[in-house]
Amino acid sequence: MTPAAMAELVRGAAAPGSPAVILTTYGTAKPLVAVPADASRGTHLSLSVITMDDPSLRVSDADREQAVAALREHLLAGRLTLAEFSERVEAALTARVGGELARVQEDLPAVVPAAGSRRKPARFTAALFGRAVRRGRLRLRGRAVAASVFGDLDFDLREATIDHGETAVTVLAAFGNADVYVPEGVNVDVGGITVFGHHRDWGRDAGRPDAPTVHVRVLGLAGTVDVWRVPHDMQGSYSDIFRQLKDRRRELPS
């Protein structure tokens, strides 16, 4: 349709008493143009021209990378936990069409600069002469300390939110045991030193360049520290996680 013909349609729709059909673009409720109800006769408007962001069209690598970058901003703003972030990133990287890519952000607002959470950050967690479990929607802000002294500590970061792209967690174990849980898909850097003890990390290292990084620094004296990378589909108690991850390690070729 020529610009002159389109202008004539708009003028006709604006006339008093003239019935009109509102054409809208995909994904928005704002009208694109008003067209008389009988304008379809003798005119051939192509919906492929009017409709934008067709969910059936294939997406590019650049589209996937843009979606991952947006998810990272939502993570830093506190809208997503580490587990939710890594799960949605996996879905974004395997998306083939626009509809699949849109679903990973369907319940999230437009990206805005991260303002951070108002929850009090988890600075220090300890198990002293007993057992302690710290889990849930924890807030990590740059640095945190987890200590086990003659105790047994479970420090679960799968539902945690973070304020920065890199977070350092210092784990102190003196005559005690500490287990740290992170979701698979988050970059985890484990290092440190133990005397008369050990520190180990379990699970598949499936981190990605756009994922946040958790630096685990271990200081141990006659203690043990284990870092568990937990897949999204792995459910059950902590003992179930231990058993399943150990079984998967045994299944790997030597």
Token pair 């902590």 is found at 238
CA distance 78 to 189: 22
Pair 140, 82: CB distance under 8 Å: no
CA distance 193 to 156: 21
Amino acid residing at 225 = V
CA distance 87 to 104: 9
Token pair 């990287």 is found at 93
Token pair 């200081």 is found at 219
Q: How many residues does the chain have?
A: 254
Q: List the pLDDT tens digit at each of the 254 positions of the chain.
A: 554 544 444 444 444 444 443 333 333 333 333 333 443 433 333 322 333 357 888 988 888 888 888 898 898 888 899 999 988 988 888 889 988 888 998 898 876 654 555 667 888 999 999 999 999 989 988 899 999 999 999 999 999 998 888 999 999 999 999 999 999 889 999 999 999 999 998 888 877 778 889 999 999 999 999 999 998 888 888 888 888 888 877 655 44
Pair 53, 75: CB distance under 8 Å: no
**pLDDT at site 223:** 95
CA distance 118 to 122: 12
CA distance 65 to 136: 29
Rg from Cα positions in the chain? 26
